Amino acid sequence: MDTTNLRYRIGELVRQHRQNRNYSQQALAAICGMNRSYVGALERGEHNVSLANLARIAAGLEISLTRLLGEAARQASQDRVEQHRERRQAQPPERVVLHREQFMMLLRECAADRPDLVAVYLERCGVNFIE
């Protein structure tokens, strides 16, 4: 998992939960026994927050640490899937055009050296094998 993205997601969730409680950064920092600038930097994703500090913040926000981490991990994972999808859509695969005879020759050569790869290829093409 991309830890930078997770760090930003944790910061966004801390900010969201803080704002939902109508706490200022200063108020949350006071509740948690932290410095306001640390809370601000955490919300901007500038710090790798320790579990101990994150537990103090979760307690100050009156949510469980597992909920906070679970939400952040889920969102970071969704971000990663979306980024992968966007990259795949942005780069369409190049098409290779072969004559049927060229394809069959390549397939025979590959089957002689690596029949397992040919089987995988054919399965991906929808060919079912009968034992």
pLDDT tens track for 74-130: 888 888 888 778 777 777 667 778 888 888 888 888 889 888 888 888 888 888 877
Range of the domain at 125: 96-131
User: Per the structure, how many domains does the chain have?
Assistant: 2
On whether both 18 and 51 belong to a single domain, the answer is yes
Per-residue confidence band for 2, with pLDDT thresholds at 50, 70 and 90: low
Which of 90, 105, 122 is the C-terminal boundary of a domain? Answer: 90
pLDDT given at position 1: 52
pLDDT given at position 27: 95
Q: Are 14 and 21 in contact (CB under 8 A)?
A: no
pLDDT given at position 96: 78
Could you give the percent of the chain with pLDDT greater than 70? 95
On whether both 86 and 122 belong to a single domain, the answer is no
Residue among 57, 7, 3, 50 at smallest CA distance from 29: 57
On whether both 35 and 59 belong to a single domain, the answer is yes
pLDDT given at position 86: 79
Alpha-carbon gap, residue 5 to 81, rounded angstroms: 12
Question: Contacts for 66-69 with beta carbons within 8 Å, 24 or more apart?
Answer: 68/10, 68/13, 68/14, 68/17, 69/10
On whether both 39 and 102 belong to a single domain, the answer is no
DSSP E strands: which ranges in the chain? Answer: none
Nearest-10 Cα torsion for 35, 40, 42, 47? -80
On whether both 68 and 101 belong to a single domain, the answer is no
Could you give the percent of the chain with pLDDT greater than 90? 42
Length of the chain (residues):
131
